[in-house]
Structure formats: C-alpha cells, structure tokens
Amino acid sequence: MGQDLISEGQSVDNYIGGEWSKIDGTHQQDIVNTATGETIAQVNSSSPETIDDTVATARQAFDDWRQLSVEERIQPVFRLKALLEEHQEPMAEVLVKEHGKTKKEAMGEIRRGIENVEVACGIPTMMQAGHLPNAAPNIDETAVRKPLGVFTAVTAFNFPAMIPLWFLPYAVATGNTFILKPSEKTPLTARYLFELIDEAGFPDGVVNLVNGGAETVTAMLEHDDIEGISFVGSTPVARHIYETAAAHGKRVQAQGGAKNHIIVSDSANLEFAVDQTVSSAFANSGQRCLANPSAVVHDDIYEEFADRLTEAVAEYTVAPGLDEGAQMGPLISDDHRETILDYIETGVEEGATLLYDGRDADVPEGGTFLAPTLFGDVTPEMTIGSEEIFGPVLSLLQASDFGDAIDIVNESRFGNAASLFTERGREAKRFRHEVEAGNLAVNAGTAAPMAFFHFGGWKDSFFGDLHAQDDDAIRFYTDEAVYIERWPEA
Ligand code: NAD
C-alpha cells in the first residue's frame, strides 16, 4: 500500500461514501517530489456538485452513525490507531516525497497524529457531561452532549498526516460524520491515510475525502448541511474562513499563521539554548506554525549567543529527507523558495546583518532546497522581524532587560507560541503571566502540547472560541442539552 500510489502521472482520487472516485473538476496542480523535482501525481479541484453529493452522503450516514452506541463508534477508531502504527514507516516515506521533511520528522509527525486517535478512543468518558439528583425539589437534571451532523476540515500542507488527525477522530467518535479537504500541495499523504480509514471499517459515508483548492472550500463554506468547519492555514485565509463560515451560520475554529519568539535570558544555559533555538527554527525547514524564527536575546549575552548560533547553523545538514543524517529537507515548492529568497533580500535592504547566508551554501541539486539563514541586528519594525516567512530564516533581536524582551514579543500581531530560556523561576513566572500567546514553553524550543491538552493560538493566529484537541474538541463537535426530570408522587 502507499508506494504504488505515487507512480508518475497518477491523479489523486476522492473517497466518498466508502468508494474511491475520480475528481470531476478542473486541474489544480502537479505534485512534485520536492527532493528531485520529478512530477509524481496531479490533483484536481472537486466541483460544487461533488461537494453537494459528498455532503448528502455524509448527512445520510449521520442518521445511522449517531444511533450507534459510543462503544461501537470507537471500534473503527481503535482499528485506525493500530493501522497507523503498522503503516507508520511507508506512510512517512510518501509524506517525505511530496512534502520534503526528513523521515525522522515525518515519523514524529505521524506519532503526534496517532496520539490524537488514542485520545479520541477515550470519548466514552470525555463526552459525558453531568448529572445532579435533586437539583431542585424532587427534580433530577442531566447535561448531555449530542453530535450535530456533518463537519469538515480544511488543512495546511506542512503537517499533512498530523493536522487532519487533530479533527477527524474527535468528530466521528462523538457521532458526527466528516469530510476532509487536505492541502492541494500534499494530497498523497491524505490519500494514504484514507487507505487506512477504508481498512479500519467505518460505515460508508462516515469519513470522506475531497480534494481541491479555494473553489472547493467556497462550496463547503456556503453549504447549508455542513454544521461546522475546522481550518488550519495562513492568517488571511483563516480570517476569510472564519467570517464566511460564521456568516453562513456554521461553527468555526480557524487556526492561522504565526511569528513566534524565543526569549534568551542572561541566566540561560547557552549551549542548551543554542541547540534548541536551531532545531526550533529549522525543523521542517522552518515550515511550522510552532517554529520560533525570532530569538530575543539579552544584550549582555548577545555576542556570545550569536557566535555560537552561527557555528551551529553552518553545521546544519541539508539533504533529501530520506537520506540518513539529513537534518533539513527541501521546501514545499519552488514558488515558496522564491518568496523566502525575497524576504532574505528585504532583510539585507532593511539593514539587518547577515550572520550566515543560506543562499551561498552548497545544497543538493534538483529539488527545492535552501540552506538555513541567520540574521543579526533585526528589529520588530523590520519586515523579517514582523512577518511570517515560513522558511529557514532565523532572526536575532536584542533586549536591554527582561521586560523589554516581553514587550518585543507582545508587539507581534501573532500569538501562537513563545519559548523562554532561563535559570530564574521569577522570569518563568513573569513570562507565563505576561506573554500574549496560546502555547508557552520554558526551557523547551517548541511549545507543542500533547493531544490531551487543547491546542490553539491567540491574536491573529486563531479565529474562533474553541481550540483543537482535548475537551475543546468535544465541545466543538457537540451541542449540550439539559434533561430535567420529575416524577410526582401518585
Ligand atoms: P494556506 O492558507 O495557503 O492553505 C490552507 C488551506 O486553505 C488549504 O487546504 C487550501 O486549499 C485552502 N485555501 C487556500 N486559499 C483559500 C481561499 N482563498 N479560500 C478557501 N480556502 C483556501 O496555508 P498553507 O500554505 O497550506 O499552510 C501554511 C500556513 O498554515 C502558515 O501560515 C502556517 O503558520 C499555518 N499553520 C498554522 C497552524 C496552526 O495551528 N495555527 C498549523 C499549521 C500551519
């Protein structure tokens, strides 16, 4: 399974009502092996008519699916967990080919996806609400959580295995039916995931896959029979999804872009902080919403930190993601590489100091490789100090004291995550109280919560009320009712 899905010239199919089907819409784009430049598949855009048919199929499946006991509903979720474990390695290889990340990163990503499937297996407990006997004289009250109908998720390219699993297992285990619209840049991983879903034995129509781009999403946003939408992608699209879905009466949770910061205190263990800063900025080639592409460093240690970081960046190994020893693979596309090169040029023009120029480094030929770049003397007003680059570019900013560092972080319009390196408890406490972001790490480079905690950002990194994962997911995918019951004496 899997490997044969990526033979040259193959078009990616939809999975609707338990059947694989060709896509009727217009040609969307070629899928390229990012390490070699070779075209490995095409993906088309599903038409509004296909969305109508898919929603009707999912709506019909909902009638029976919601009637099953919760115990019966979680059985295919358990099987999906076992299938993902069994196929983790070949799935990772498909992911590496279309996306570019290293195999180790792909294996780690699938692991984080599996974690969500495991949590969703606990829905019989998580879905319980509350019961109070004698809430009023001779009256018992019970709160219950009920599924709503058809939900959809529209997802980003950068974690094509994990992000769909932030939503899919919770949506279906709570009794809804589900349609995934994966990124048109990485449809092969979703295709592989649905091979496993097909084998897991969900009833037909409970879990569906439609491919496409903006036109396909518009048909979903405007569809009366879709109850809610989960979105992960860039901030302008997240804002558009939030506004349009809400205008059409839907529940919506829209996770957007990011520009996260690491604060390096003058008390930090520098060796550890350098190591964590490098991996936080350059893992997944910097294409992570939890990457920290800006490090705000105390004046007193700035020079030493910059020197150590420059050495570490120069040693970073850029290679095809399937190579042993690769630390960073290629970028998602040539267009994206051009965008990042433009940002580097802008950084130079705006007066930042190039400490290590990734454009000059040797990288493998043929793919969309770009070595890491390190800038010093960046300010929050500069383009590279304020905008999301989403690539292997790390900026160093200087702070005169800890309060100054917090002000710099909070100046950002984004609030997805932040990290602090310190040996002082009082700085950690102040960081947690004052930094305006949804995920805060002390002495860890990447603030990624486990699946049994909720996950979502603040400010322009998130539009909605309920985040992904944990209890927020249960509340997003259910509505509550209260049963009030009295049995008067005869
Ligand atoms: P993107 O916004 O280009 O695309 C995301 C999804 O939206 C895709 O499925 C795409 O088909 C769809 N889409 C694109 N334009 C649309 C439009 N006009 N109308 C309707 N749908 C549209 O994002 P991307 O390039 O795939 O992913 C990178 C972005 O995702 C970065 O900004 C990154 O920070 C963000 N991201 C955020 C999180 C988070 O949890 N906050 C996680 C991962 C990625």
* Closest residue to atom 40 of ligand 1, CA basis: 255
Taking the centre of ligand 1 as the mean of its atom positions, its distance from the CA of residue 23, in whole angstroms, is: 22
* Closest residue to atom 23 of ligand 1, CA basis: 233
Cβ(232) to ligand 1 under 6 A?
A: yes
Cβ(234) to ligand 1 under 6 A?
A: yes
Cα–Cα distance between 425 and 442 in angstroms, integer? 10
- 221 CA closest ligand 1 atom index: 20
Cα–Cα distance between 343 and 8 in angstroms, integer? 33
Taking the centre of ligand 1 as the mean of its atom positions, its distance from the CA of residue 133, in whole angstroms, is: 47
Taking the centre of ligand 1 as the mean of its atom positions, its distance from the CA of residue 286, in whole angstroms, is: 15
Alpha helices in 214-320 (DSSP H): 214-221, 235-247, 270-282, 299-314
* Closest residue to atom 1 of ligand 1, CA basis: 233
Taking the centre of ligand 1 as the mean of its atom positions, its distance from the CA of residue 233, in whole angstroms, is: 2
Going 404 to 405 to 411 to 415, the CA torsion angle's sign is negative
Cβ(184) to ligand 1 under 6 A?
A: yes
Taking the centre of ligand 1 as the mean of its atom positions, its distance from the CA of residue 404, in whole angstroms, is: 32
What radius of gyration, in Å, describes the C-alpha atoms of the chain?
A: 24
Taking the centre of ligand 1 as the mean of its atom positions, its distance from the CA of residue 171, in whole angstroms, is: 20
121 classed as catalytic: no
Nearest-CA neighbor of 301 among 441, 435, 445, 401?
401
Taking the centre of ligand 1 as the mean of its atom positions, its distance from the CA of residue 155, in whole angstroms, is: 6
Question: Would you state the pLDDT for residue 10?
Answer: 65
In total, the chain counts a number of residues equal to: 490
Cα–Cα distance between 7 and 11 in angstroms, integer? 9
Assigned token pair, 408: 């710099």
**298 to 269, 301, 440: CA distances (angstroms):** 13, 6, 19
Which of these is catalytic: 289, 306, 437, 473?
289
Cβ(416) to ligand 1 under 6 A?
A: yes
Task: Specify whether the CB–CB gap between 329 and 100 falls below 8 A.
Answer: yes
For residue 448, the tally of other CB atoms under 10 A from its CB is 15
Cα–Cα distance between 191 and 195 in angstroms, integer? 6
Taking the centre of ligand 1 as the mean of its atom positions, its distance from the CA of residue 44, in whole angstroms, is: 18
> Residue 125 belongs to what H/E stretch?
helix 123-126
**DSSP labels, 6-65:** G-TTEEPPEEETTEEE---S-EEEEEE-TTT--EEEEEEPPPHHHHHHHHHHHHHHHHHH
Domains 3-256+461-483 and 261-442 in one fold: no
Task: Specify whether the CB–CB gap between 237 and 380 falls below 8 A.
Answer: no
Cβ(183) to ligand 1 under 6 A?
A: yes
Taking the centre of ligand 1 as the mean of its atom positions, its distance from the CA of residue 325, in whole angstroms, is: 30
Cβ(237) to ligand 1 under 6 A?
A: yes
* Closest residue to atom 21 of ligand 1, CA basis: 214
Cα–Cα distance between 329 and 93 in angstroms, integer? 13
- Candidate from 34, 116, 237, 387 with most ligand 1 atoms within 8 A of CB, to mutate: 237
- 237 CA closest ligand 1 atom index: 2
* Closest residue to atom 30 of ligand 1, CA basis: 233
Cα–Cα distance between 90 and 3 in angstroms, integer? 7
Cβ(289) to ligand 1 under 6 A?
A: yes
Q: Per-residue pLDDT tens for 192-250?
A: 999 999 999 999 999 999 999 999 999 999 999 999 999 999 999 999 999 999 999 99
* Closest residue to atom 43 of ligand 1, CA basis: 289
Assigned token pair, 332: 């998602």
Question: Would you state the pLDDT for residue 490?
Answer: 80
* Closest residue to atom 16 of ligand 1, CA basis: 214
Decide: helix, strand or coil at residue 109.
Answer: helix
- 154 CA closest ligand 1 atom index: 9
Task: Specify whether the CB–CB gap between 456 and 438 falls below 8 A.
Answer: yes
pTM of this structure: 0.97
* Closest residue to atom 35 of ligand 1, CA basis: 233
Q: Which residues of the chain have pLDDT under 70?
A: 1-10
* Closest residue to atom 22 of ligand 1, CA basis: 214
Domain boundaries, the chain: 3-256+461-483, 261-442
Taking the centre of ligand 1 as the mean of its atom positions, its distance from the CA of residue 159, in whole angstroms, is: 11
- Candidate from 45, 116, 155, 157 with most ligand 1 atoms within 8 A of CB, to mutate: 157
* Closest residue to atom 34 of ligand 1, CA basis: 257
Cβ(166) to ligand 1 under 6 A?
A: no
**322 to 95, 113, 126, 231, 273: CA distances (angstroms):** 10, 20, 39, 29, 28
For residue 432, the tally of other CB atoms under 10 A from its CB is 12
3-256+461-483 topology per CATH:
Aldehyde Dehydrogenase; Chain A, domain 1 (3.40.605)
CATH number listed for the domain at residues 261-442:
3.40.309.10
